[in-house]
Amino acid sequence: MAHIGDIFGYRRCLQMFFLIACVTQLSTYFLKNFIVMLVFRFVTGIAYSGANSTRNALVMQLPAKQSTEKYVFNTTIINSFLSIILPIMGSSIVTYGNWRVIYLVAASCSFLMFLSCFMYENFKLELIEAKSENEENNQLLEVEKQKQQYKFDIWGMIVIAVAMATFCLSFTLMSNKQYMYFGISFGVSIVSFIGLYFVEKHAVCPILPALIFKRPTSLVLYLNGQLFFLTTAFNWLVPQILNKQNRNSMFAGIMTGIQALFCMMAAVITPQIRKKVTSRLIILVSFVFVVIGFAVMCIIMKNSYALAATYILTFYFFGVQIQLLYVFMMLAVPPELSSTMAGMPTCSRTIGQSISLCLYSAIQSIVEKNVGFYFSYQVVLIIMSVFALFGLFLSWLLGTPKKKEGLIGSGNHSE
């Protein structure tokens, strides 16, 4: 989506995406048919994904690295502040009013963002003429030139959508004991992923350039995807347990609001810690505390207040990771290659969330049917711990600045 902004201008594309989101959200308020509502929600998701990637492409062209980092940190603080208010507002509407009002609020916010874009010029990226000393960067620059000349990887987009949809669907079918359809869906996903490799290999402008995955950027891409893979499951898991314990939506809303407050604290504190400690060491330590949090939750799961407190404290360390990994991804390539990387944060988040919800819900459903409710969620937490430990190992491979004097955790690796 960011490449459309390169051609027609970022402001114009942002306004288009916000207006589409506004219309679909407003329409959803009046819809009665569940299937049609799902279709509109799908279109809304596409619009916001396009807005995010367009915004990322614009921000990644800021002249100084410090400006981009400051933007990311400030944005996280604002989002966390809003996340304190919105869950409580949403839970109050659901508990005491009509849940459809939420769509009116969302449509109003989308329209306000549409209007706010008029404050900016319709900046767009000129055809790239710069050359880099790095040969791989030059190859990516050539890809950017071709993309700006109205060439899009349509087949790649279609194949990756089919691959991810069938892969996620297979776990849902498995949880419902539809083993034949599970095999068909899983087989189609494997064939699609293999086909994606060949489609992208021969595409003039691949949606997923192979050069990106040959760079150290691949570690950041995986860690960012895994971060949302874990946080999505975490956000799904805790409310399910609280609902079993007859806690109403207001309790969950207050808990989520406090969790957002801790994320805002992480957004404020993390930049200060980075002045003394390397980003890699911070991520390593945060993974350790995440694993500890999962272990504690397995033990105190039946106590609602202890469960909520552990959830909030554990999510603080997820907030730290969100801060650092997002910055890593935004600054992984030179500004000239911004469009290539602009969609990666959104893409990795979407993939991580989709796989997470399907995989963990399938595992939980199967274990609960054969063993019991609480044990099923303990199994999910154990599996999440394994992924967190793997993330800890990969974060060690990220590297650190070369002999950066006075910085705890610095060494002889390149970051």
Question: Residue 383: its pLDDT value, please?
Answer: 93
H/E run at residue 362: helix 344-370
pLDDT tens for each residue of 72-104: 667 767 776 776 677 667 777 777 778 888 888
Helix (H, G, I), strand (E, B), or coil: what is residue 203? coil
Which residues does 172 contact at the CB level (< 8 Å), separation at least 6?
358, 361, 362
Question: Residue 23: its pLDDT value, please?
Answer: 93
Cα-flanking dihedrals φ and ψ of residue 371, to 5°? -125, -70
- 8 Å CB contact between 219 and 226: no
Tell me the whole-structure pTM to 2 decimals.
0.71
What distance in Å separates the CA atoms of residue 392 and residue 281, rounded to the nearest whole number? 10
- CA nearest to 1, candidates 232, 380, 415, 345: 345
Which residues does 90 contact at the CB level (< 8 Å), separation at least 6?
102, 253
Question: Residue 333: its pLDDT value, please?
Answer: 63
Q: What is the mean pLDDT of each run of 10 residues along the chain (415 residues)?
A: 66 88 90 84 84 74 60 70 70 76 88 85 57 54 54 75 81 75 90 87 70 68 84 86 82 80 82 81 91 94 91 90 77 61 69 77 83 90 93 77 50 45
Measured CA to CA in angstroms, residue 205 lies from 57, 99, 123, 208 at distances of 17, 43, 23, 9
Question: Residue 402: its pLDDT value, please?
Answer: 47
Superfamily classification of domain 65-98+216-396: MFS general substrate transporter like domains (1.20.1250.20)
